[in-house]
Amino acid sequence: MAIAFIGGLVIIGDGRILEHGTVLLDGQRITKVIEGEMDLPPDTRKIPLEGRTVLPGFIDCHVHLCLDGGPDPISSVITESVPMTTLKAVQFARDTLMAGVTTVRDLGGKEEIALVLRDAICSGLISGPRMLVSRQMICMTGGHGWPVGREADGPDEVRKAVRQQIKKGADLVKFMATGGVLTPGVEPGAAQLTEEELRAGIEEAHKAGRKTATHAMGTEGTLNALRAGIDSIEHGVYLDDQSVSLMVKQGVALVPTLSALYNIEAKGIEGGIPEYAVEKTKRVKPYHLSSIRMARETGVRIAMGTDAGTPFNMHGENIGELKFLVEQGFSPIEAIQAGTRIAAEVLGMESDLGSIEEGKLADLVVVEGNPLDNIGLLRDPEAIKLVVQGGKIVKGNLDQS
């Protein structure tokens, strides 16, 4: 049966807005999008949108569904059993989907859990966002993320590590170009994997048709990754003129993950977060914010990513990232594009996702009110009235007329 959303504000996802749009779905795909009314096929289910807004399903380019958002999630995931982590991840996936995030990119977890979760969602066994999974992140010995990463030293070992991730079924490959906040004893701004190591790994991933992403906080490590051919920069704390210029020239997107920064600072050591992580977060914050503003002003594509699963950065609160982007000077429509069209481009799925257009997959979110007037609506579970994924209503049941 076809479904038609009628008479509401339609935010296409590419900057266009329909004031009183109609969106027609048939099966998994969008078949028609127009301003005003249209002749509908017989037996079409009509969903009125008066006072509501329909948007594309959101895409979070940086999550960790194996991490539970506790004060020290890395320690927790190391010590708890695989079955417990798996059960939690199933719930986190459902929470994410119910919040209006219909697709995610999982950038590091525990053993095969994220891969199994991806396949279970794809088969319809459980509910959750469509997933692209990197499996283990590749780091130097003792580098950032080593407790849950694949340690590798030298170009040949990094190349082998990439091949192992692909053999296990990874959709993309993640590298650790610099230190970070949540690993004790490492400096966020310090370069880690070398340019030669990164180039070997990235070439191997690209040879297999896989995109690449890198954790990158320090300037030198970011430049190493860019010169090596990386596809996206995660966090991007200490960006400079040279790095943003290369990002624009090479079409490399930034995924800033502001939610991680804000939640660690807000909860602090009083919330049980390790003191070293709080100290490092406060130290990098001004550089992180200035880097995002520099990237935006220079024309770098910026996509939504939350680092969900890090301390108090809860699965299901993902779209709060857009409010943080607005606070850094983005307009509401620009922030929404970061979580839809641009995010789809980062994933390489722009032909199917990221905007409400004919022929694309019917991933939609219906919100009470207008998020262009109040971007915070998108974080309110009560405001998310309906979620559609691949043409199937997975949350809500608005009245049929």
Using a pLDDT cut of 70, give the percent of the chain over it: 99
Residue 258: which of 200, 328, 349, 336 has the closest Cα?
328
DSSP secondary structure, 60-124, as one string: EEEE-TT----SSHHHHHHHS-HHHHHHHHHHHHHHHHHTTEEEEEE---STTHHHHHHHHHHHT
How far the first Cα of the chain sits from its last, in Å, is 15
Query: Would you say the C-alpha torsion 78, 79, 81, 85 has a positive or negative sign?
Result: negative
Report the pLDDT value the prediction gives residue 400, as an integer from 0 to 100.
47
Report the pLDDT value the prediction gives residue 120, as an integer from 0 to 100.
98
pTM here is 0.97
Report the pLDDT value the prediction gives residue 401, as an integer from 0 to 100.
40
Report the pLDDT value the prediction gives residue 299, as an integer from 0 to 100.
97
Answer CATH for 58-347 from 3.30.300.30, 3.40.50.2000, 3.40.50.12780, 3.20.20.140: 3.20.20.140
Distances (CA, A) of 165 to 62, 93, 178, 392: 18, 22, 20, 32
DSSP secondary structure, 244-308, as one string: HHHHHHHT-EEE--HHHHHHHHHHTGGGT--HHHHHHHHHHHHHHHHHHHHHHHHT--B-----B
CA distance 326 to 5: 28
CA distance 361 to 375: 24
Report the pLDDT value the prediction gives residue 37, as an integer from 0 to 100.
87
Give every residue of the chain whose pLDDT is below 50, as ranges: 400-401
Report the pLDDT value the prediction gives residue 397, as an integer from 0 to 100.
77
CA distance 390 to 378: 20
Helices 219-228 and 195-207, packing angle to 10 deg: 40
Q: Into which CATH architecture does domain 3-56+355-395 fall? A: Roll (2.30)
Report the pLDDT value the prediction gives residue 1, as an integer from 0 to 100.
80
Would you list the domain boundaries of the chain? 3-56+355-395, 58-347
Report the pLDDT value the prediction gives residue 38, as an integer from 0 to 100.
87
Distances (CA, A) of 365 to 22, 53, 211, 278, 391: 14, 8, 27, 35, 11
Distances (CA, A) of 76 to 109, 110, 179: 12, 11, 20
Does 3-56+355-395 match 58-347 in CATH topology? no
| CB-CB neighbours of 391 under 10 Å | 17
Report the pLDDT value the prediction gives residue 399, as an integer from 0 to 100.
57
Please identify which residue in the block is written with the tokens 């059960």: 87
CA distance 196 to 156: 10
Q: How far is CA 263 from the centre of its chain?
A: 17
DSSP secondary structure, 127-186, as one string: ---EEEE--SPEE-TT-TTTTTSEE--SHHHHHHHHHHHHHHT-SEEEEE-B--SSSTT-
Burial code (b: 16+ CB inside 10 Å, e: under 16) for 87-120 equals ebbbebbbbbbbbbbbbbbbbbbbebbbbbbbeb
User: Is 271 exposed, middle or buried, given 0-12, 13-18 or 19+ CB atoms closer than 10 A?
Assistant: middle
Token pair of 71, please?
A: 């004060």
| Pairing of the two strands 211-216 and 58-63 | unpaired
